[in-house]
Structure 1
Amino acid sequence: MERRRRHWWNGKWGRIARRDVFLSLDDGTGLWWVEAREGGAEGRQVRQEFDCEPDALRRIRRLTEGSPIDNWREMPAG
């Protein structure tokens, strides 16, 4: 079963501006997944798998750093 572990949001609302990045772990395979989503739940999404958490977190840093117009923050666990 795949479980979401962490979530980052760019601080913007609306289908055009909103961006989310999720980190999940598949307990069955041990694979880590990074999902980058544009436009909220109904928007476009891209998923990438990783063998280990540090590699997945490096990818997340590349997705969330360096944007002068986004205010990325990690969302608290639900």
Structure 2
Amino acid sequence: MEQRKHWWNGKWGRLARKDVYLRISGDQWYVEQRAGGSEGTSHFFEHDSEDAALDMIRAILNGLDEWRELSVRPPVR
């Protein structure tokens, strides 16, 4: 699975931190919505297209948090 994008709500700490990831594997797109940092709880959503996955991400990011897109290093080939 290849990670394409990552957003973070800019807050530190297990109780406040939220992350959203966009990933792809084959023809399937995946959105991971995580609360609580690396030790937190994740919810995964599968989509048939990048557009559908990005629509979901836009809905998640629409709120009071100040989301930041973090850089993702391109895969080594």
TM-score clears 0.5: yes
Identity %: 48
| CA apart distance, 1:15 | 0.3
C-alpha RMSD of the superposition: 0.8
Aligned position for 1:37: 34
Distance 2:13 2:72 in 1: 22
Aligned position for 1:77: 72
- 1:62 and 2:59 aligned: yes
Q: What secondary structure does 1:41 align onto?
A: helix
Describe the superposition over 1:21-40 as per-residue Cα deviations: whole angstroms up to 9, x where unpaired: 0000003xx10000000000
Structure 2 portions without partners, runs of 5+: none
TM-score (norm 1): 0.90
Query: Stretches of 4+ moved more than 3 A in 1?
Result: none
Q: What count of residue pairs does the alignment treat as equivalent?
A: 73
- 1:15 and 2:14 aligned: yes
Structure 1 portions without partners, runs of 5+: none
Q: Is the 8 A contact 2:17 2:36 kept in 1?
A: yes
Q: Which has the larger helix fraction?
A: 2
